[in-house]
């Protein structure tokens, strides 16, 4: 069995190839059971074990099986360890034989950003020139690079609660030849942005619907539980709303929170990413329409990304 660390995943993957792979996966035959969620009692704190399986169906051209194993140990900070760690196990779908163990955190970062860019390719204004990244955490550079793979931006700004965090992202991307500037005016840059991507842990709305311009696309990646919000109810009501999977109607922040509070109705959601990829629903259906995409993650994306890494790793 091959071990594929983060550095090798970075060397092998490109966003154009991964975005296309996800597009094919959402149109293809992949089975995704409900993920397993187990609470683990520990003396210092409760931990969590997440198991996210998926496999290709009988109509798929290749047979693969995969499972992402994720652990969440909130008290790991006191040990100078990440609170979230994971590994992706890719197996031969015909025999069950293990093929590779991939760095789970890096695979997740790549596939999460690629899914957002895929949605933006289906929904966002094709001639949008301004992007605003809200949040300066680990996902920010991935999201900027992914969205840049499907749009030719003339101006990319990043806003974070800590300016030094935004400056670090700007510096890192400059080393890769990607020009990004720090935003000191969230509202001002949001009002001008054609695409706003949010990846934060905010517990209160941070992007307001009244700020969104005509043809704007809002990408909501953070806010992963029901106590978090990145956009307010007005943003949902002003936009044509799409989700990666129907799980986003009950899980994660923003859409699920608004539905639970009675501020938004589930039947107003225009469709899922799979429906967009299969052309079962259309994206923006009139000039000037605002679109919104909320993701909570799905094992389809993990398997598609792992399959692509496996193929690329075996080409060399």
pLDDT at 287: 81
Q: Nearest-CA neighbor of 292 among 206, 217, 225?
A: 217
**DSSP element (H, E) containing 39:** strand 36-41
Reported CATH class of domain 2-107+300-313 = alpha beta
Q: Structural domain boundaries of the chain?
A: 2-107+300-313, 110-297
Q: 3-state class of 226 per DSSP?
A: coil
The CATH number for 110-297, chosen from 1.10.8.100, 3.40.50.720, 3.40.50.1000, 3.30.2350.10, is 3.40.50.720
Q: Work out the pLDDT band at 81, boundaries 50, 70, 90.
A: confident
Q: Work out the pLDDT band at 304, boundaries 50, 70, 90.
A: very high
Q: In terms of C-beta density within 10 A (0-12 exposed, 13-18 middle, 19 or more buried), how is residue 39 classed?
A: exposed
Render 71-121 in DSSP notation, one character per residue.
EE-GGGGGGT--SEEEEEEEEETTT--EEEEEEHHHHHHHHHHHHHHHHHH
Q: 3-state class of 265 per DSSP?
A: coil
pLDDT tens column, 218-271: 999 998 888 889 999 999 999 999 999 999 999 888 999 999 999 999 999 999
pLDDT at 105: 93
Q: Work out the pLDDT band at 5, boundaries 50, 70, 90.
A: very high
- In order of 62, 92, 102, 195, the CA distances from 217 in angstroms are 35, 38, 32, 5
Is residue 284 scored above 80 in pLDDT?
no
CB 298 within 8 A of CB 244: yes
pLDDT at 286: 76
Is residue 316 scored above 70 in pLDDT?
no
pTM over 0.85: yes
Mean pLDDT of the chain: 94
Q: Residue 62 carries which DSSP code?
A: S
pLDDT at 125: 80
pLDDT tens column, 119-167: 999 997 888 899 999 999 999 999 999 999 999 999 999 999 999 999 9
Mean pLDDT of 200-229: 93
| C-alpha of 228 from chain center | 16
């Amino acid at each position: 069995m091959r071990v594929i660390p983060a550095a090798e995943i970075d060397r092998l993957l490109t966003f154009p190839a991964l975005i296309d792979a996800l597009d094919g996966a959402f149109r293809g035959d992949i089975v995704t059971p409900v993920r397993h969620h187990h609470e683990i009692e520990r003396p210092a704190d409760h931990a969590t074990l997440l198991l996210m399986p998926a496999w290709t169906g009988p109509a798929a051209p290749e047979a693969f099986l995969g499972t992402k194993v994720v652990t969440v140990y909130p008290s790991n900070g006191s040990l100078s360890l990440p609170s979230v760690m994971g590994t992706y196990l890719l197996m031969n779908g015909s025999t069950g034989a293990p093929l590779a163990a991939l760095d789970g955190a890096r695979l997740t970062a790549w596939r999460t950003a690629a899914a957002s860019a895929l949605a933006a390719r289906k929904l966002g204004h094709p001639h949008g020139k301004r992007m605003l990244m809200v949040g300066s955490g680990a996902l920010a550079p991935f999201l900027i690079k992914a969205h840049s793979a499907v749009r030719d931006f003339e101006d990319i700004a990043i806003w974070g609660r800590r300016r030094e965090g935004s400056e670090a992202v700007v510096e890192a991307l400059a080393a890769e030849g990607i020009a990004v500037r720090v935003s000191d005016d969230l509202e001002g840059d949001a009002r001008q942005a054609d695409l706003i991507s949010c990846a934060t842990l905010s517990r209160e709305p941070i992007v307001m619907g009244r700020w969104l311009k005509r043809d704007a696309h809002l990408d909501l990646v953070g806010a992963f539980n029901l106590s978090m919000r990145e956009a307010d109810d007005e943003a949902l009501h002003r936009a044509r709303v799409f989700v990666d999977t129907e799980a986003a109607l009950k899980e994660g922040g923003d859409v699920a929170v608004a539905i639970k509070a009675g501020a938004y109705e589930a039947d107003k959601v225009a469709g899922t990413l799979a429906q967009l990829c299969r052309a079962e629903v259309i994206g923006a259906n009139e000039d000037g329409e605002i679109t919104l995409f909320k993701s909570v993650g799905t094992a389809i994306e993990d398997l598609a990304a792992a399959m692509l890494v496996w193929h690329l790793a075996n080409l060399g």
